[in-house]
């Protein structure tokens, strides 16, 4: 039909939306993210806009793209805007539209893996800077954008190595923005801390025996006892959340993610043998306010006690304290001038901020906070269902475009901010 034809032509011309769709169409999901294509796409956008570009590689085939818009006073600490290149996997058959099609529905929803997490901010940073340059805005502080690999798998070959590098030190970052999460209401959400992830693996050992026997201290019995104790702990904290006394992200969470036991046979498992080993894995998240030592004692004494023939392993996925030993939290009061500037900029863009939160999950921001850099998690999505890591992840075009305007305000304010004393 003619109107359909017209729609297609409109979709194909170069616009903020088609550029966003272009980025979304690059398949950067684990375990084989196409980092090369993502970096080359972003780099060509940056060069067109007139930004300086530099590609770093802290691990083979895991590039990190760094963009720079020099400010008029390079002696002032800079602003860093961060976004990760990678995405989590998809189950394409469970999606309404193919997850790399970036299909836009008639009501403006753009469907793609990464549309919320976090390819939106990756492109919004660029679009905002493109607009500011078109308005002849001149930054005072230098503005950098980093596109880092491997956030979804812990950032060890990405942000962790980046913050430890000379290149990072040379940026002299004073304040940084990283990803946040969608807000279902009218207010923008902002995050001053993440929870720190631990992988907890507990193992139980015991006497093997005939499947018909009753005896004490089998590996399975001991593991199941632990699972029960951990489940009770989980419930007690979940009750606090359900009673409205704390947010989900303010308490420790511990969730079972795998169970491994039994003696494999060609048809499944041997059914008449009680196994001598059993194992369970948990995703544990520590809010910055929790005491990690107390949790370690609990694990050693209650969850996997040696007297029940149990062992455990805790794998801490990143820092839990900064270089001064302080919890990884960015201040969100007027003692932090960056906070005041940020908040003011949101207001000036016609937005309202919700009460600052701890993020339930984990981002690369923890590595920057570890260096003592004030960092806020922020993704300008209001009136949007929270679909990160979910099927049918989408973002509405109007929400995306408004986010660009919000960043124009935020970036120009942050870059123009000069401490009265400095
Ligand atoms: C082990 S760090 C994992 C980081 C990951 N980030 C986003 O989902 C997360 O699970 O929160
Ligand atoms: Zn993310
Ligand atoms: Zn994610």
CA of 64 from ligand 2 middle (Å) equals 16
Virtual torsion, Cα 10, 15, 18, 24, nearest 10 deg: -170
Res 422: pLDDT? 45
Please name which of 291, 363, 284 lies closest in space to residue 321, comparing C-alpha atoms. Answer: 291
> Was 7 annotated as part of a binding site?
no
Q: Whose CA is nearest to atom 8 of ligand 1?
A: 152
Q: How far apart are CA 421 and CA 265, in angstroms?
A: 72
CATH architecture of 197-316: 2-Layer Sandwich (3.30)
* Residue 380 reports pLDDT greater than 60: yes
What is the average pLDDT across 23-37? 98
Q: How far apart are CA 407 and CA 356, in angstroms?
A: 18
Res 419: pLDDT? 77
Q: Whose CA is nearest to atom 9 of ligand 1?
A: 362
128-176 per-position pLDDT tens digit = 999 999 999 999 999 999 999 999 999 999 999 999 999 999 999 999 9
What is the average pLDDT across 274-282? 98
Average pLDDT over all residues of the chain: 96
Cβ–Cβ under 8 Å, residues 74 and 142: yes
pLDDT-derived band at 60 (thresholds 50, 70, 90) equals: very high
* Residue 7 reports pLDDT greater than 90: no
Between helices 16-24 and 2-12, what is the axis angle to 10°? 80
113-132 per-position pLDDT tens digit = 999 999 999 999 999 999 99
Tokens 């606090």, residue located: 240
Per-domain residue ranges for the chain?
A: 2-190+332-416, 197-316
* Residue 4 reports pLDDT greater than 90: no
Catalytic residue among 118, 127, 150, 151: 151
* Residue 276 reports pLDDT greater than 90: yes
For residue 257, the Cα-to-chain-centroid distance in whole angstroms is 19
Say what the pTM is: 0.93
- Decide yes or no: CATH 3.40.630.10 for domain 2-190+332-416: yes
295-351 per-position pLDDT tens digit = 999 999 999 999 999 999 999 999 999 999 999 999 999 999 999 999 999 999 999
Q: How far apart are CA 389 and CA 383, in angstroms?
A: 18
Q: How far apart are CA 106 and CA 150, in angstroms?
A: 34
The token pair at 101 is 């099609």
Ligand 1 binding pocket (C-beta < 6 A) is 152, 154, 197, 317, 361-362
* Residue 10 reports pLDDT greater than 60: no
Instruction: Tell me the longest C-alpha to C-alpha distance in the chain.
Output: 81
């Amino acid at each position: 039909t003619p109107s359909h034809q017209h729609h297609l032509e409109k979709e194909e011309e170069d616009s903020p939306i088609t550029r966003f769709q272009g980025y979304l169409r690059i398949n950067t999901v684990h375990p084989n993210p196409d980092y090369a294509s993502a970096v080359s796409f972003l780099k060509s956008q940056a060069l067109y806009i007139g930004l300086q570009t530099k590609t770093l590689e802290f691990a083979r085939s895991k590039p990190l793209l760094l963009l720079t818009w020099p400010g008029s006073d390079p002696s002032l600490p800079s602003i860093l805007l961060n976004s990760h290149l990678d995405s989590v996997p998809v189950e394409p058959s469970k999606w309404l539209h193919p997850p790399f099609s970036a299909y836009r529905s008639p009501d403006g929803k753009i469907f793609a893996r990464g549309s919320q997490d976090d390819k939106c901010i990756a492109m919004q940073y660029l679009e905002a800077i493109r607009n500011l340059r078109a308005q002849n805005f001149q930054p005072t502080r230098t503005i950098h954008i980093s596109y880092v690999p491997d956030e979804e798998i812990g950032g060890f070959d990405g942000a962790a190595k980046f913050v430890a590098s000379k290149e990072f030190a040379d940026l002299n970052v004073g304040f940084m923005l990283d990803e946040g999460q969608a807000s279902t209401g009218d207010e923008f959400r902002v995050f001053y801390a993440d929870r720190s992830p631990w992988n907890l693996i507990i193992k139980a050992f015991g006497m093997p025996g005939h499947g018909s026997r009753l005896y004490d201290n089998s590996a399975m019995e001991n593991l199941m006892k632990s699972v029960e104790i951990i489940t009770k702990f989980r419930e007690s904290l979940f009750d606090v959340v359900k009673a409205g006394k704390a947010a989900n992200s303010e308490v420790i969470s511990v969730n079972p993610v795998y169970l491994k036991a039994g003696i494999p046979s060609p048809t499944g498992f041997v059914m008449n043998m009680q196994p001598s080993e059993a194992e369970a894995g948990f995703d544990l998240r520590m809010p910055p306010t929790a005491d990690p030592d107390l949790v370690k004692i609990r694990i050693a004494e209650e969850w996997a006690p040696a007297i029940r023939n149990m062992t455990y392993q805790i794998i801490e996925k990143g820092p839990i304290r900064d270089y001064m030993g302080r919890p990884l939290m960015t201040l969100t009061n007027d003692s932090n001038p960056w906070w005041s500037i940020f908040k003011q900029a949101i207001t000036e863009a016609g937005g309202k901020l919700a009460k600052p939160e701890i993020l339930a999950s984990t981002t690369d921001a923890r590595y920057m906070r570890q260096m003592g850099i004030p960092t806020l998690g922020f993704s300008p999505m209001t009136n949007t269902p929270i679909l990160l890591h979910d099927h049918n992840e989408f973002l509405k075009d109007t929400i995306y475009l408004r986010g660009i305007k919000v960043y124009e305000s935020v970036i120009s304010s942050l870059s123009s901010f000069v401490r009265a004393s400095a």
